[in-house]
Structure 1
Amino acid sequence: MKEPKSHTPSRHSPAPVLAGTILFALVLVLLVRLLTAGAIFRGTEEARQTVLESVAPSDSTAFSQLPCDPAMADGMYAAWQGEALAGYCVAVTADGFGGPMELMVGVSAQGSVTGVAILSHSETPGLGDGVDDPAFLERFLDLSGTVRIGTGSNAVEAVSGATESSRAVAQGVNQALAAVAAYSAEGGAVREEGEN
């Protein structure tokens, strides 16, 4: 007797299905990025403006980005009161205990600290992250020259249990003060015609 031939069902290769799924996912990701890019950019711009206003000399009404030496600062902005230069806002990165610490430091046109904001850090929770405390950051206000951690003139007392993290903040403040001093020695910021 003859055995019937067995038919195996034809199998479709999974490659076209997989390629189609990947292509669909890529198109979806690109579409979402295009739709949210404007909102992300505006959010970033608004966040930058808020930080600049928080550290700048009081009554600053406008900010303009300045060229700066990347060895001294990550970014620098002039703070304006109408047509007059009120001071500068300087973005710096210091060496924290837990890694890089990014700060924005406001410096008056006369060279004293007007504000300090910590943008990011990796300090130990419960200890080093105490440098975020506004009461600690306010201790730097009105200081100039070279700031140190300790006691006495031109010194700021460290956050208890976070001496290295406190030194990182002082290092960032000193970087900003030095960047402003160097920029001012080269002539300082000049408001361009038609600049906001």
Structure 2
Amino acid sequence: MHTSKKNIVILISGSGSNMAAIARAADKEGWLVKWGAQVAAVISNRADAVGLELAHSLGIATAVVPHKAFDSREAFDAELMARIDAHAPALVVLAGFMRILTPGFVQHYAGRLINIHPSLLPAFTGLNTHQRAIDAGCKVAGATVHEVTAELDHGATLAQAVVPVLPGDTAETLAARVLTQEHLIFPQAVRAFFERGA
């Protein structure tokens, strides 16, 4: 058993399905015994995020830092960092966290901040990735787990999954196909992070 805990803090804004995929993988694969790694907390910028209830049901501590309560991005990020740092995280995971973070925040967690993006980066950074892939006539789409840097969706690629774009796909059907892969590659990328540090 590892004596030093390696805490994972996951940030969400919505359903929390990727958060749950990571938490379940950690539990099933015994990350706590192998590396001392555990999902210590889930923090959302939205009090109505369904993922908070999901985290609670998985026995994970939750917190809400509502971005609308702050006058600036910097003030929000400062409070968010304080909440995250209370858990002394080895890794901070952005799992559908719909906020653009300040360079100061990104710098603070340099080397231990990862995100998942629903496209094959460097293609289709930003929003509406599935519709843009369909509109561009792409034959494949997918998801990318990457390190977070100050430039949006540009950090080093840690994992990718590819899915076909099928005739008649809508943004919704493509998103659903990509999401099933996200639930596989995101836990893999987190696992690899701790394997490298072991």
Give the structure-1-normalised TM-score: 0.27
Which structure has the greater CA radius of gyration?
1
The higher relative CO (CA closer than 8 Å, separation ≥ 6) is in 2
Give the structure-2-normalised TM-score: 0.27
